[in-house]
Structure formats: structure tokens, C-alpha cells
Amino acid sequence: MSHPHPELGPPPKLPEGGLRVTPLGGLGEIGRNMTVFEYGGRLLIVDCGVLFPEEEQPGVDLILPDFTSIRDRLDDIDGIVLTHGHEDHIGGVPFLLREKPDIPLIGSKLTLALIEAKLQEHRIRPYTLEVEEGHRERIGPFECEFIAVNHSIPDALAVAIRTPAGMAVHTGDFKMDQLPLDGRLTDLPAFAKLGEEGIDLLLVDSTNAEVPGFVPPERDISGVLRQVFGNAQKRIIVASFASHVHRIQQILDAAHEYGRRVAFVGRSMVRNMGIARDLGYLRVPAGLVVDVKTLDDLPDDEVVLVCTGSQGEPMAALSRMANRDHQIRIVQGDTVILASSLIPGNENAVYRVINGLTRWGATVVHKGNAKVHVSGHASAGELLYFYNICKPKNLMPVHGEWRHLRANAELGALTGVPKNRCVIAEDGVVVDLVDGIAKIVGKVQAGYVYVDGLSVGDVTESSLKDRRILGEEGIISIFVVVDSSTGKVVGGPHIHARGSGIEDSAFTAVIPKIEDALVKSASDGVVDAHQLQQLARRAVGKWVSDSYRRRPMILPVVVEV
């Protein structure tokens, strides 16, 4: 990972009475949010999420925070506070609990229900502590107060962490929707009260810090959805995040109004909506939701499918529908609604899905052509208002790419936070709060940890580079048999190519070059198989570069007999 302070070394010992803050994810990126607080030799973790891979990370399923800096201190962890139930905040928990299953999880009812269902798949039964807004809990040396915040999932919480070193407040993800569907406002009076008490360090969601004004209310979408439902002639297929309960509620309300039945598609969607319904966060009229297997018995104009895949994920339901690789086949006249924003880096994948759906005759409604999404993150106007209420002494922007972090710090400075107290850090950069002043003191390892199938951490940047070369340039294999004593060629060379765009017959021209190189090496007394492999690789590599301007992966095999 890039680093704004390359001169930094490992952090010094934390001064007595100081509070240390170490972000292990979520700074410089959108995802894998994780922050470690340390006081008196004890640790408190806020969130532990995942990051979803981009195109240059082929074969990777998830990206985790790097636990290296805390791996030998797992017994010092007093708990993991989960601010809300989105994957970029809870998705990494199973992987941390694999290393120590009895770390307590602290969160709201819905958040804990979502993580418990996820942990059940990993055969982990966690220790949990359910909290709600207004609660105070002593977690080791940390006194935590929980504050209601509005976000794109119910039951989100901010947390105020009191220690003798001062009070740190972590907002989690939040916005200030003044007309929330569930009536649960961001508790500005509680934040104002904390501000009066004195917030020594404020860690604030930066995702929309570049966006001026205020985020529109979630309920503004309902009118557009009703219009789309009213115009739809056949089936309606809605793709959304599997945890966006408020958005799904509006889909259910529109379906009920227009006499349609709803079926959830995809394991995570079925699981999460079942949890939300059972806990009372999702209001479902009787008979509205049906099993997907019964849809064939209903007319197309009475069907709504709610599925995953709004980010173009290759294995999600919507992508498979677009590729004709799903039991539900898109037909002329279907309407598809992508009810979410585009996560940075996913644009190409999403537009590929949109094109695939359009090819089969669907009308695709998305954020680019209709107001079917509003953000769950506070914009610049809301952040300014928030800073004026909280009046923090030190500010540390979190949850965002570099441009978001810097824009957020500038907003804080506009409201009176001294610029030298606006700390812009990145993953692994250690910030100490000592005597009321927050400053950067060092860095720890905080690289990407890749999950590939059942493998965790085995995929390296080097292996990803190999995968990219294989995907972009192909592979050439060379097989040669040499005499072990003389180094002379007694079989081959045999050359085969895959994905390189070069026919096997074209390699006739390079075989004499390989033979000449091996003969020369034999006359020089070089008979080591590894050295002979390198000679063959260089000969073929130079020929391919000169002839085709390509750089495929070359795998030489020299067998001695």
C-alpha cells in the first residue's frame, strides 16, 4: 500500500496515560474498515470488514485487514464493537475469530443477528453483547457510549470511547436523513452533549466529503419506484445490496401497491431479509413474499424478483442472468432496477451487466437515468453542521479514499479545528492522543490479505502479477531433455502456447535459437538444469518480444537423463 509518511518506522512504546489509534483498514480505500484503540495495554477494535477485489486482482474473493500487528496480542483484545451490519464493517470478523473465537462482539440487535448468521456458516459461536443507543458499557478500560446514527441499514451506531487519556468518538457510517423511513434520526442532541463534554478525537466517515449539500431523504426514491412499477409490462427484477433493508422495504411497498408478489433470490438476500423480517425491521404484508419456485405459476406482470448483483459481481444472481447462466432468464419487456450506487472500481463490471441485460431486451433503470438510489453517507453540508455541533479538539477522517480524507479534513478546518490537529492517516499509520494532542508517531504492517477460496493470505502480490500476465499475455511452455553429463540436447525442444495469440507452428523459427544456446552452454561446461532453463527462457522471451511485441509467461522445463 502507498504511504504518506515513508520515513516512519515502528511506533514507540505508548506513553503512560496515552490513547493509541491504529487504522488497519478503511483509510485510502472504501472497505475493510477496522480501527484498533489501545489504552493501558488493552485493545478495543471498532469494526472488522472486507474489501471487494478489483479487476487487477483476478481470482480473489475478498480482501481482509492485516492482523499481523495484533496477532500476538489477541489476549489483550477486550472486544470488537460493530457499528452496523454492512460487509465492509463485519465481513472480516469470522477470519479474526478463527484465530481467537472468544473475543466478545458488541453491537445492536440487527448487527449481531447478521454477524451471528455469517459466523454460523464458519461454525463459530460468538460471545455477544447487545447494545442500543443511549447505553453505556465498560469494556476493559474503555467506557463506551452508543449513539444512534442514520445510515442505509437499520440499527447503525456511533461509539464514544472514554478513557483517562480523553474521549474518542467514532461515527461509523452515517448521514442526517431528516425523514428516515424507520423514524430513527441521527441523534444530534447526543453528539452536542458529547461536544459540550469535550471530544478529544473525532473519527468521521469521509465517503461523501467531496459532495456539496445534503443527501436527499431515502423516501424520495419511493415516487420513482412507483412510476417504474406503474410502467412495467412484465417482470420487475431489482438488484440491491443484501443488507439494504430500507431500500427493500420500499420495493415491497411498491409491489404491494401494484398487486405484485415478491421473491428473494440469492442466499445472502434470502438470509438477511429473513432476519430483518423476524426482528421487525422489515414490514411484509401477508402473502406478499413467495418462494421463487412458485413464480412460474404467476403472470409476468405480477412478479417482482429481488436479488444481489448490483455491483456486477461475477457470481451474483444478476450477473448470471445477464450471461444466461441462471434459472431466471431475461426476456423482452422485463424491467431491471439497479437500486444502489457504484462502488469505485466496479463501474466496468456494472456496465457490462447492464449491456448484457439490455441485449436480451430488458429495460434497465439505474442511478444514471433515474433517482433509484440515495447515499447512506453524509455530504459536505451535513459534515459542516456535524462539526459545528461536536466541536472536536482533534479530527481524524476515516472511511474513504485519499481525496475523501483530505476533503473531510478541510471541512473540519473550516469549522475551526486547527489544521495541525486534522490528522490525515492511512492504513497502518499509528496516531497517539497524548495530553490532548493527536499526532502520527509510527506505522505498522497493514497490507492486503487476500482470500481465494479456502486460502487466506496465501495469495501474494507476486502471484497476482503472475495471474495478470496469464490473463493478458498467455503462457508458453518449453520442454527439453538433455544429457546429464554433457548437457547436450537429446530430446525436444517442444514448445506449446496457450492464450498468447501465437500458433505452435510459429515456434519452428525459435527452436534453432534454443538449441544453439544450449549447445554453447554445454561447450562452456554449464550443465545445471536451472541455468539451462534460464537460457531457454531468455531465448524464447527475446524472440517473442522481437517478433510479436508480447511478454507472455514462459515456463521452461529441462529434464536430465
> Quick check: 194 and 160 in contact, CB under 8 A?
yes
Residue 376, annotated as binding a ligand:
yes
CB proximity list for 374: less than 8 A, separation 6 or greater: 215, 216, 217, 218, 220, 221
All 3 cell numbers of residue 53? Answer: 477485489
**Cα 274 to Cα 84, 124, 245, 289, distances in angstroms:** 17, 20, 11, 11
Q: Which residue has the cell 465492509?
A: 88
Residue 161 sits at the vertex; the CA angle it makes with 109 and 115, to the nearest 5 degrees, is: 25
Cα–Cα dist 8/373, whole Å: 41
Residue 89, annotated as binding a ligand:
no
Cα–Cα dist 99/95, whole Å: 7
All 3 cell numbers of residue 234? Answer: 412484465
Residue 443, beta-bridge partner list:
429
Instruction: Kindly state the greatest CA–CA separation across the chain.
Output: 86
Residue 374, annotated as binding a ligand:
yes
Cα–Cα dist 297/427, whole Å: 52
All 3 cell numbers of residue 30? Answer: 472504501
Helices (H) and strands (E) in the chain, counts: 15, 25
Cα–Cα dist 513/206, whole Å: 58
Cα–Cα dist 472/381, whole Å: 44
Q: Is 532 helix (H, G, I), strand (E, B) or coil?
A: helix
Residue 373, annotated as binding a ligand:
yes
CB proximity list for 297: less than 8 A, separation 6 or greater: none
Cα–Cα dist 339/350, whole Å: 12
Q: Where are the beta strands (DSSP E) in 104-200?
A: 105-107, 128-130, 136-139, 142-148, 157-163, 166-170
Residue 375, annotated as binding a ligand:
yes
CB proximity list for 452: less than 8 A, separation 6 or greater: 59, 60, 61, 458, 459
Report the candidate in 409, 507, 498, 467 with the shortest Cα–Cα distance to residue 203.
Answer: 409
Cα–Cα dist 154/111, whole Å: 9
- DSSP calls for 254-319: HHHHTT-EEEEESHHHHHHHHHHHHTTSS---TT-B--GGGGGGS-GGGEEEEES-TT--TTSHHH
Cα–Cα dist 67/65, whole Å: 6
Residues making up the binding site? 373-377
Residues making up the binding site for substrate? 373-377
